[in-house]
Structure 1
Amino acid sequence: MKSATSLLLGAALATVFFLLYTSVCRDLGPGQPRSPSSLSPPRWAQEQGTAVASKVVNAERGTRRPTKQEVERAAPREEKQTNEAAARGGGDGDGAAGQHQQNQQKIVMPTSQQVRVPPDTSSGHQDDLGELLRRAATADRTVLMTAINEAWAAPGSFLDLFLESFRHGEGTAQLVRHLLVVAMDGGAFQRCRAVHPLCYWFRVDGMDFGAEQTYMKGDYLEMMWRRNRLQQTILELGYTFLFTDVDILWFRSPFPHISPDAQVVMSSDFFVGDPDSPGNYPNGGLLYVRATASSVRFYQHWQASRARFPGKHEQFVFDRIVKEGVPPHVGARVRFLDTARFGGFCQHGDDLGRVVTMHANCCVGLRNKLFDLRNVLDDWKAYRARVAAGDTARLSWRVPGRCIH
């Protein structure tokens, strides 16, 4: 009897342990752990569907709900760009170009990500892009814009020299009120907030644009193309812009020398004498684009053409598509600025009575650029002092320098 009771008790305990074991195994699932990618789609894929709405809501927050037309106007056109690029191909590597364009779409950050600022930003909150554009714009919805990273924004570097040139130019001091400074990293954003009221942090998670970006190396290409995409976004939001590199000194307002019906106008490294000639050597350091449907289409064509020229920067692609001829359905007219007024270290005018801007192009290295730009600004100050004193003697740039000749 005692032996039978022991057997029954043992069987009951075995049953309990078996049920517990099967329950735990069911909760834990298969022995192989699941990868993070199997739990949910990548963040860019999750947010891709909300990018359009985020862009318009950020631009219009606190005023009104966007209309259907505004949502359609602000929508990214990556899918359409891919189709256009495939249709234009017709040569070797069309399939690779299409795949490259698809991969490019994956790294375009939605506006909702770009305006997010981490808690450790001690210099104040980030205003959204739409609000900053509204505050910077002139009555006709035109904004000036430049872009900086930490190396170019450091005290005594290009940002300080750039802003100083506005103070010493002829009728340029008031233009700074319409200048939006785009910071490519947190250090540049904090430095901008210390010296200028209109600063936008163009955040790209996982990328660091803070160090000196050597031409065509490291993150340089991605920085240039992301800047280009931001310019397209500004057009889609209905704002005309005049973009200027921060290594350009401003001495006079450029607007009297830009035609009122201009659509896309770019500066030149070398000017051949005809503003409509595709033979000019483009330089995106100074770029005026009027907010029209055709200019937005031009940017879509420009961005889509990147897939046909892998590893090339946006200025190279611009030159190629202009030389090919802008497609008729795009409809934008491209013109170039005369270096006699909008000069640089590559080619410049010597008549300080006509000069509008001076660009530190054709020059490698921050120190070399800064050295020559400081001399250029000193020469301009000397010219202004002579004019104020009634001295009309000819005065030109101090050349040669480390770069300027």
Structure 2
Amino acid sequence: NSDRRKLVQVLRAATTPSRTVIMTIVDKSWARPGSILDLFLESFRTGDGTKFYLKHLVIVALDSQAFQYSKDIHPHCYHLKTAAHFKPFTSFSYLILNKRRNELLLEVVELGYSVVYTDADVMWLRNPLPHFQIPRELSIACDSSLSDASSEGESTDGGFGGFFHLMSSDVTVEFFHLWKLVGVLYPRVANLSLCEISRDTKFVQSAGFRIKFVEADYYGEFCRPSRNISKTYTMHANCCNNLESKVHDLKLVLHALANPEKSKDGTLHQLFTSGNTLKCLTR
């Protein structure tokens, strides 16, 4: 159909020689002037060794407004049509997005492309991809808020799996088909995030699906700032359900990266230890 043809065109334009694309998903609240998307793209331009990967980034828009804005500022965009209205920061919306994202990921890997997926509120401080060159179907950074979200029966941006590498292979395709089939019989399974299903050892092993959980210190998050910022490749603005606060804090992170007067690592460390600078960390 026409949507699939458009997806193929975008993937062909954005792919690396090894048939890998970087992908993020936004809606109109995250894709407008001064938004999360602007900061996300800026992190690629200012990060250490990350600017090169902009040409391999595909922005997936959930609505026409986000799609139009994304096209205005980036060459590789795809409109993922959804039946439901997506409202950020709600458990129900994350369930919808989780399901729709999995369908898209399956389609992409079936087309023979591997995916580096990154939430748009994940700032790229340094090139994280060499750390992901692991012969596994999935390499994933699971946030610390996963256990809290699971215990409360909710899905949050923390437990969602905001950064991962998914290898295109027959095993990956079969895993997603099996997940979908089991989800029909057991709806709770269908609603699990990629991080949550990855921790179901019995299910994963039955599919022959190999997973590498990357070291948390390499992938920072607002929920649990890294103790050694010099090792951090990315910074995820999770544990923050206020969009204005999220944008405010991510601007500070990028400003710290671009600060010419102090070392980047020292400035970032100060951000997360001062106690009164970041709005998202104010309790």
Query: Please, what TM-score do these two structures have when normalized by structure 1?
Result: 0.60
Alpha-carbon distance, 1:395 to partner: 5.6
Is contact 1:184–1:203 with CA below 8 Å preserved after alignment?
Answer: yes
Secondary structure of 2:71's partner? helix
Alpha-carbon distance, 1:223 to partner: 2.4
Higher Rg: 1
Alpha-carbon distance, 1:193 to partner: 0.7
Counterpart of 2:76, as a letter, is L
The one-character-per-residue Cα deviations of 1:296-319 (angstroms, maximum 9, x if unpaired) are 12222232343313497441x751
**Alignment counterpart, residue 72 of structure 2, candidates 191, 194, 219:** 194
| 2:151 paired residue number | none
| 2:173 paired residue number | 296
Alpha-carbon distance, 1:323 to partner: 2.5
Q: 1:185, 1:290 → 2: CA distance?
A: 27
Instruction: Compute the RMSD of aligned alpha carbons.
Output: 2.6
Alpha-carbon distance, 1:128 to partner: 0.7
| 1:398 paired residue number | 271
Is contact 1:244–1:286 with CA below 8 Å preserved after alignment?
Answer: yes
**Alignment counterpart, residue 180 of structure 1, candidates 33, 45, 58:** 58
| Structure 1 moving runs of 4+ over 3 Å | 206-209, 309-314, 326-329, 384-388, 392-395
Q: 1:284, 1:393 → 2: CA distance?
A: 28
Identity %: 32
Alpha-carbon distance, 1:268 to partner: 1.7
Unaligned runs of 5+ in 2: 146-157
Q: 1:299, 1:224 → 2: CA distance?
A: 13
Query: Please, what TM-score do these two structures have when normalized by structure 2?
Result: 0.84
Q: 1:147 to 1:327 in 2, by over 3 A?
A: closer
Is contact 1:133–1:180 with CA below 8 Å preserved after alignment?
Answer: yes
Is contact 1:264–1:287 with CA below 8 Å preserved after alignment?
Answer: yes
Is contact 1:145–1:181 with CA below 8 Å preserved after alignment?
Answer: yes
Q: Which has the higher contact order (CA 8 A, sep 6+)?
A: 2
Alpha-carbon distance, 1:341 to partner: 1.2
Give the aligned length. 266
Unaligned runs of 5+ in 1: 1-53, 55-111, 116-126, 272-280
Counterpart of 2:73, as a letter, is V
**Alignment counterpart, residue 169 of structure 1, candidates 36, 43, 47:** 47
Higher mean Cα deviation, 300-309 or 229-238? 300-309
Residue 263 in structure 1 maps to residue 132 in structure 2: no
Q: 2:189, 2:14 → 1: CA distance?
A: 34
| 1:373 paired residue number | 250
Is contact 1:147–1:182 with CA below 8 Å preserved after alignment?
Answer: yes
Alpha-carbon distance, 1:134 to partner: 0.8
Q: 1:223 to 1:267 in 2, by over 3 A?
A: same
Is contact 2:223–2:239 with CA below 8 Å preserved after alignment?
Answer: yes
